[in-house]
Amino acid sequence: MGDELRCIVCRMRHILGLSLVTAIAIAAVVACGSDDTTVDPPPGGDDGGSLDGQTPPTRAEFGLDTRPANATCKAPSRPPSTAPVELQRVFAGVNLGTPMMMAQIPGNSTKWYIAQRAGTIASFPTVNPGATPTQVANLATIANGGPVQQGGEGGLLGMAFHPNFAANGRLYVTWMRTGGPANFRSEVGYLTSPDGGLTFTTYTPILGPFNQPAGNHNGGGIAFGKDGFLYLTFGDGGGGDDQFVKGQLKTEFFSKVLRIDVDNVPGGSTYGIPNDNPFKNGGGEPATFAYGLRNPFRFSIDRETGEVWAADVGQNKWEEVNQIKLGGNYGWPCKEGFHDYITGAPKCPSASGLLDPVVEIEHIPANTRSITGGFVYRGKAIPSFVGTYVFGDYEAQEIYTLELDTTTGEAKATQLADAPAANWASFAEDTDGELYAVGLNGQMYKIVAKAGAPASNFPDRLSKTGCADPADVKRPATGLVPYGVIAQLWSDGAEKDRFIALPDGAKITVRDDGDFDFPNGTVLVKTFSIGGKKIETRLLVRHDDGGWAGYTYEWLDDESDAVFLPGSKRKTVGSQTWHYPSRGECVRCHTEPAGRSLGLELPQLNGDFTYVSTNRISNQLKTLEHIDMFDKPLGKPVEQIAAYPDPLGTGPVEGRARAYLHANCSHCHRENGGGRGNMVLTFATSLKDTVTCNVDPEAGDLGIAGAKLIVPGDPAKSLLSVRPHALGANRMPPIASSLVDTQGVAVLDDWIRSVTACPP
């Protein structure tokens, strides 16, 4: 599954360049199924019912009398991670010329438009296209100031229709002019059509022209984001030593992804700067979105999630695919792929804080590759392929798919061995989300399901999983046992209901460290609600082969059912954005060293819980032991078993802060957990052994003088506090959370202020 596109567990720290403190809230990354911490009141819970209007619950020794039989909620067979696909030649009879990019007008699937290298734009109908496209614009004619520079890596490099093209008729282009010392100048502007795309009669420049040092590494990507802003890419300028100097410059347009506002333009300007651009108020080029790229020739923006994916052409050994974060520094020329390239100043001012790629591809032999970025598949024709990133290689003339292994979370690129060979200039996405590969030789291919691809029997609705009440899908099936946790995992303020479904006769083993080890066939269920409305249910399943996997279901607006999502998705819910995780994303948090199920451990469950079905309040561990859920007795009274403090409670601040870190961070930041560096944030670890106090951050100081992981008494210099306060590339958690946990982070800040010195 390919929107499972970001590494994970051990290697996820490389994929998104996570720092030592990146996992400060990485648990909030949406651990799928049973990430087991919630914003529900910890000494309570809900098994799917409501106490409204009922008699207040009564204190009882046990919350349930017997263990319910589980006849329906069973581990399903795994769905195929991807559907085998192939490339099918389309529009073979159309003379596409030398196409650099192809696109459709938003909401109009009747035509394709071709940006041709020579500076012309042509169109042809999708049905009965004929042999000769119709020319609708010629930059050399309508853009004053010189001809299109087609030499080197020049030409008309890209185009993007304005999302509101139907009203304003604007088509934005990025291209190369002649002129300047090297006779290469980059420019961005828009063409205007007065007749719905039949012709484009005027041209308006908005950015540039600016001189390029040479005719290569000019970038040339352009696209509108879900936020309505226009994104652009430019390379390091190529040439001699300039390419190494410009890579880490925060000024100028080189080596960057830019983001500008073309709809809200201040007087005297040709474009606006979004308020959250990292250098809007100084420190670098205001239009910068991210920097440190060598030659991001092609990029795309996931139509579901809004995430930016860019392929960056390497120097001579490593190509890379990056997920671009706001404010991120992707390392060129300090690094090529995951590897050091230039390590000294001035070309590499600092090696800290650099973000690694999602995946790299090696040149074998050297100088044999030139990566071309593609798209995340969001079409409907191949449901099990949804979320897979597709990209190509111009030089090697190959096509790849990129996905995250749904068991290990490892990112991997797989070559489509039977794909046709072509110099892949770009990829295209039609209005339905179906993908196409565009060859510079004038050939266009559609990505289709391969004949004989296996069908999936995986339940496509929550109502078909057996884990919901068939009479009311909003309620759990009778075989599920509810539970709650004490220390909360931040999930953007969502309320959660959680359940355990064991195979009949199977039992839980409690490990020496207190974590629960579940039998094969277990299903852990969690439903998220915002404002009292269900938005998502996640299943964390231990399959019969012993492996774990997470599956996400999106609730319909009327709450009549929830639909299985084969890939990740983002959706506006009320005033916030909600992230639905992919299968690959699930294992980022549900690490093997943390026991996969995370919050299901003795100290998290050693507290009172309200069992709605019986209207009782009882200790959870006592209840679970009473109904025969464990394979052997706990061995001592629950009063003698440790319990985590509630982070938002009233106990000593150190314990509350450490419980918060345990719930939100320790699944990665523990021994072999995959978190970058040596930081250990499990609750039982002494402050000295956490390797945080006055310890230098491995992934940069974020420009904060004197920053450490923890600076005693100073949260503002403690990255353990700074990162969960941040947004963009420095945000912890790095994905799936768009809101700061103000209460939880306040507990961390109070604790750091209370630390007077590091332990000896």
For residue range 62-85, what is the model confidence (pLDDT) as tens digits? Answer: 999 999 999 999 999 888 767 789
Q: How far apart are CA 39 and CA 47, in angstroms?
A: 15
Q: Return the H-helix or E-strand segment holding 88.
A: strand 85-90
Percentage of the chain with pLDDT > 90?
71
What is the DSSP secondary-structure string of 420-435? PP--EEEEEE-TTS-E
Q: Is residue 451 one of the residues assigned to a domain?
A: no
DSSP structural state of residue 518 = P
User: For residue 403, what pLDDT band results from cuts at 50, 70 and 90?
Assistant: confident
- The two structure tokens encoding residue 397: 């003339």
Which position has the higher pLDDT, 53 or 261? Answer: 261
256-260, strands of its sheet edge to edge: 222-224, 230-234, 256-260, 288-291
Q: What integer is the mean pLDDT of 36-59?
A: 51
Q: Residue 435's pLDDT is what?
A: 98
Q: What integer is the mean pLDDT of 188-195?
A: 98
Phi then psi for residue 742, to 5 deg, are -60, -40
Q: Residue 361's pLDDT is what?
A: 92
Q: Is residue 690 one of the residues assigned to a domain?
A: yes
Q: Is residue 412 one of the residues assigned to a domain?
A: yes
Q: Which of 10-14, 363-367, 601-605 has the lowest mean pLDDT?
A: 10-14
pLDDT at residue 405 greater than cutoff 90: no
Whether residues 599 and 734 share a domain: the answer is no
> How many residues in the chain?
760
* pLDDT tens digits, 101-150: 999 999 999 999 999 999 999 999 999 999 999 999 999 999 876 689 99
Whether residue 333 has a cis bond before it, omega within 30° of 0: yes
* pLDDT tens digits, 370-390: 999 999 999 999 988 999 999
- The two structure tokens encoding residue 655: 């314990």
Tokens 């506006």 identify what position?
572
Counted domains in the chain: 3
Whether residue 209 has a cis bond before it, omega within 30° of 0: yes
SS3 state at 375: strand
Q: Residue 595's pLDDT is what?
A: 83
Amino acid at residue number 116: Q
CATH of the domain at 185: 2.120.10.30
Whether residues 431 and 509 share a domain: the answer is no
Q: How far apart are CA 644 and CA 18, in angstroms?
A: 27
Whether residues 39 and 10 share a domain: the answer is no
Q: Residue 454's pLDDT is what?
A: 67
Whether residues 118 and 46 share a domain: the answer is no
Q: Is residue 268 one of the residues assigned to a domain?
A: yes
Closest alpha carbon to 256 in 280, 284, 227: 284
Whether residues 169 and 273 share a domain: the answer is yes
Whether residues 18 and 2 share a domain: the answer is yes
- Taking residue 94's Cβ as centre, other Cβ atoms within 10 Å add up to 20
Cα–chain center distance at 619:
38
Cα–chain center distance at 510:
33
DSSP structural state of residue 708 = B
Label the pairing between strands 339-340 and 335-336. Answer: antiparallel
Q: Which of 97-111, 405-419, 682-696 has the lowest mean pLDDT?
A: 405-419
β partners of residue 111 = 125
Whether residues 630 and 718 share a domain: the answer is no
**Residue that is last in its domain, among 611, 643, 675:** 643
**Residue that is last in its domain, among 612, 643, 674:** 643
Q: Residue 412's pLDDT is what?
A: 86
pLDDT at residue 702 greater than cutoff 80: no
Whether residues 41 and 163 share a domain: the answer is no
Q: Is residue 452 one of the residues assigned to a domain?
A: no
Q: Is residue 453 one of the residues assigned to a domain?
A: no
Q: Is residue 753 one of the residues assigned to a domain?
A: yes
Q: Residue 583's pLDDT is what?
A: 75
Whether residue 346 has a cis bond before it, omega within 30° of 0: yes
Q: How far apart are CA 10 and CA 673, in angstroms?
A: 7
Which position has the higher pLDDT, 455 or 516? Answer: 516
What b/e sequence results for 294-305 when a residue is b if at least 16 CB atoms lie within 10 Å of its CB, and e otherwise? bbbbbbbbbebb
Whether residues 74 and 152 share a domain: the answer is no
Whether residues 25 and 37 share a domain: the answer is no
User: Angle of helix 653-665 relative to helix 742-754, nearest 10 degrees?
Assistant: 130
Phi then psi for residue 655, to 5 deg, are -65, -40
Residues 6+ apart with CB under 8 A from 160: 103, 171, 172, 222, 223, 224, 230
SS3 state at 359: strand
Whether residues 300 and 200 share a domain: the answer is yes
Q: How far apart are CA 567 and CA 304, in angstroms?
A: 10
Q: How far apart are the first and last CA of the chain?
A: 48
Whether residues 390 and 533 share a domain: the answer is no
Q: Containing domain of residue 590, as a range?
A: 31-79+458-643
Q: How far apart are CA 653 and CA 752, in angstroms?
A: 9
pLDDT at residue 165 greater than cutoff 70: yes
Query: 120, 132 in Cβ contact below 8 A?
Result: no
Q: Residue 269's pLDDT is what?
A: 97
Q: Residue 737's pLDDT is what?
A: 79
Whole-Å CA distances, 343 to 248, 292, 348, 607 = 12, 14, 6, 52
Q: Is residue 298 one of the residues assigned to a domain?
A: yes
User: For residue 451, what pLDDT band results from cuts at 50, 70 and 90?
Assistant: confident
Q: How far apart are CA 349 and CA 195, in angstroms?
A: 51
**Residue that is last in its domain, among 422, 446, 470:** 446
308-312, strands of its sheet edge to edge: 298-301, 308-312, 318-324, 359-362
Phi then psi for residue 659, to 5 deg, are -65, -40
